[in-house]
Amino acid sequence: MSDLLAARSQMAMSLGFHIIFASIGIAMPLLMVIAEGLWLRTGNEAYYKLARRWAKGTAILFAVGAVSGTVLSFELGLLWPRFMEWSGSLIGMPFSLEGFAFFTEAIFLGIYLYGWDRVGRKAHWFAGWMVALSGTLSGIFVVMANAWMNQPTGFDLVDGEPVNIDPVAAMFNPAAFHQTLHMTIAAFLATAFAVAAIHTALLRRNPDSDFHRKAIGIALAVGVVTAVIQPLSGDISARFVAEHQPAKLAALEAHWETTEGAALTIGGIPDERSRTTRLGIEIPYGLSLLAHHDPNAEVTGLDQIPEDEQPPVTIVHLAFQIMVGIGFTLMGVGLWGAWQYWRRRRLPTHPWFQWAIMACGPLGFVAVEAGWVVTEVGRQPWVIYEILRTEDAVTQVPNLYVPFISFTVLYVLLSIATAWLLYRQVVIEPREEESAGQLSGERQHANA
């Protein structure tokens, strides 16, 4: 394994691990404040229990997200020092703001998780909103920095170095809007479907549970709304990429030859040697329509991109197909549920629908991972698009397989431990009252 490959693998693995916990950390607080808000309005204890159960799971997942996020901020320098040297002064702005958003999130999460009996109800609910808001903002700030790598702006390039820098322009780079929009919606979408799936499985075991019905209701409400708007945000992204990163678009669509009225290839296996795609379904004019909203528009193919500036087509194309396929599946299932609800005014409990929801549980996160493969691998061979190559940004430290393997083992173990703990403590009926009140209760005892 070359050091470059080890560094890329470590970064990919760390990001792929963190993004799951980060997405949950962004989305769960919203579900919790919705449940808590319903409790405050209706006085129904089931909503209160729901908010507390969710809070318990979130506490575990947020901690893993916080520490794995810390690892990433260091890894920027541990693995890509030349990249950070080049761009630190440009992209530090969103990272500084993210630092404060994260601070606010951690503070109010502490109040939310441990303050049930220590602050008033309204203050507690307010803390939940602060967590939801600052968590979303901190995700947005980090993605803004990533967007800059796709659309580096805010400087003049003189002898390969940035001068006259403008960190505000770098932060509000042209890719920032569509990337942050797409990722933020994805976080809510993936989490909502996963939560709905877990509670659906539990509802099937215990069909009379009002608790699980309410949980599914809240999760699906968030899931359906985000599933419907996500394809729209995807369209914004696709058109942006078509215009500004033609190499990435050509790779993700496996579009080999520049053509007018280009067909859209759905699925299929790209063959990079013969430069063809086998087994795909072709929709005439589809790609021109999607990329430029004009059936006859010319779409740049890989033939226009110098060979040493082409991303790996197979991975990017397949990842893109997976992401889009899942996106439409979730939208379909979501609309099905919405339609059922509209007809009967109650939560759909048809077994087929329940199975569909359970099948969708992990899919949102698969789509999130696939989406990051599309944007990161699709940017290759650049770390800063058309400015700095990934191979020129890697650290001079040798034997990078050692940290790569170490962090992989660490994260695999943590994943197993987290899943097992969540299963034991949150999914299977916990002795809620004792365990949730435990910390604060004992503390007051101790002081009494």
Partner 1 sequence: MPTLELTAAAVMLISLIGYAVLGGADFGAGIWDLLARGPHAARQRRVIEQAIAPIWEANHVWLILVVVILFTGFPPAFSAIMTALHVPVTIMLVGIVLRGASFVFRAYDRPDDRVQHRWGRVFAISSTITPIMLGTIIAGLSSGDIDIEDGLITSGWFNSWLGVYPFAVGGFTLVLFAYIAAIFLTVETVGQPDLQEDFRRRALLSAIALGAFALLVVLLSGDHAEHIREELLNSWWTWPLQIGTAIAAVGTIGALLTRRYFLARTLAVLQVTFILLGWGASMSPYLVVDDVRYHEAAAPDITLQLMLGALAVGSLILFPSLYYLYRIFKGRQAFVLLDLMGEHRAASTHTSDE
Asked if 266 interacts with partner 1 (CB under 8 A), we say no
- Number of residues forming the site for partner 1 (CB under 8 A): 74
Asked if 121 interacts with partner 1 (CB under 8 A), we say no
**Complex with partner 1: residue 137 or 196, whichever CB lies closer:** 137
Select the span of 52-60, 192-200, 217-225, 382-390 touching partner 1 (CB under 8 A): 52-60
- The token duo for 442 is 């004992």
Q: For residue 17, how many other CB atoms are within 10 A of its CB? A: 23
**Complex with partner 1: residue 57 or 348, whichever CB lies closer:** 57
Asked if 13 interacts with partner 1 (CB under 8 A), we say no
d(CA 213, CA 203): 7
| Binding residues for partner 1 restricted to 374-403, rule: CB under 8 A | 395-398, 403
**Complex with partner 1: residue 98 or 369, whichever CB lies closer:** 98
**Complex with partner 1: residue 7 or 220, whichever CB lies closer:** 7
- The token duo for 434 is 């004792």
Asked if 437 interacts with partner 1 (CB under 8 A), we say no
d(CA 27, CA 132): 7
Asked if 433 interacts with partner 1 (CB under 8 A), we say no
Beta bridge partners of residue 276, listed in sequence order: 271
> Binding string to partner 1 for residues 132 to 171, with x set by CB under 8 A, is what?
---------------------------------xxxx---
Q: Measured from the CB of residue 99, what is the shortest distance to partner 1 in angstroms?
A: 5
d(CA 103, CA 223): 28
Select the span of 101-109, 258-266, 296-304, 378-386 touching partner 1 (CB under 8 A): 101-109
Q: Are 171 and 155 in contact (CB under 8 A)?
A: no
Q: Measured from the CB of residue 97, what is the shortest distance to partner 1 in angstroms?
A: 6
Task: Give residue 276's region: left, alpha or beta (phi > 0; psi -120 to 50).
Answer: beta
Question: Site for partner 1 (CB under 8 A): which residue of 40, 114, 235, 341?
Answer: 114
Q: Quick one: DSSP state of residue 299? A: E
Select the span of 104-112, 247-255, 313-321, 361-369 touching partner 1 (CB under 8 A): 104-112
d(CA 119, CA 78): 42
**Complex with partner 1: residue 62 or 320, whichever CB lies closer:** 62
Question: Site for partner 1 (CB under 8 A): which residue of 95, 285, 341, 385?
Answer: 95
Asked if 73 interacts with partner 1 (CB under 8 A), we say yes
Q: Measured from the CB of residue 395, what is the shortest distance to partner 1 in angstroms?
A: 5
d(CA 277, CA 327): 22
**Complex with partner 1: residue 80 or 320, whichever CB lies closer:** 80
Total count of residues recorded for the chain: 448
Q: Are 303 and 258 in contact (CB under 8 A)?
A: yes
- The token duo for 219 is 């999760």
Asked if 106 interacts with partner 1 (CB under 8 A), we say yes
Select the span of 81-89, 186-194, 203-211, 332-340 touching partner 1 (CB under 8 A): 81-89
Q: Measured from the CB of residue 103, what is the shortest distance to partner 1 in angstroms?
A: 5
Q: Are 438 and 69 in contact (CB under 8 A)?
A: no
Residue 7 sits at the vertex; the CA angle it makes with 2 and 8, to the nearest 5 degrees, is 100
Question: Site for partner 1 (CB under 8 A): which residue of 111, 183, 302, 370?
Answer: 111
Question: Site for partner 1 (CB under 8 A): which residue of 24, 39, 87, 378?
Answer: 87
d(CA 330, CA 337): 10
Helix ranges (H only) for 151-209 are 167-171, 176-205
Helix (H, G, I), strand (E, B) or coil at 264: strand
| Binding residues for partner 1 restricted to 184-243, rule: CB under 8 A | none
Residues 6+ apart with CB under 8 A from 245: 150, 378, 379, 385
| Binding residues for partner 1 restricted to 400-419, rule: CB under 8 A | 403, 406-407, 410, 414, 417-418
Short-list 121, 100, 175, CA closest to 143: 175
Q: For residue 301, how many other CB atoms are within 10 A of its CB? A: 21
Question: Site for partner 1 (CB under 8 A): which residue of 12, 13, 40, 71?
Answer: 71
Asked if 304 interacts with partner 1 (CB under 8 A), we say no
**Complex with partner 1: residue 279 or 446, whichever CB lies closer:** 446
d(CA 395, CA 257): 36
Question: Site for partner 1 (CB under 8 A): which residue of 49, 52, 53, 56?
Answer: 56
Asked if 446 interacts with partner 1 (CB under 8 A), we say yes
d(CA 46, CA 148): 45
Report the run of H or E that residue 382 belongs to, with start and end.
strand 382-384
**Complex with partner 1: residue 108 or 193, whichever CB lies closer:** 108
**Complex with partner 1: residue 74 or 355, whichever CB lies closer:** 74
Question: Site for partner 1 (CB under 8 A): which residue of 110, 269, 332, 432?
Answer: 110
Q: Are 249 and 255 in contact (CB under 8 A)?
A: yes
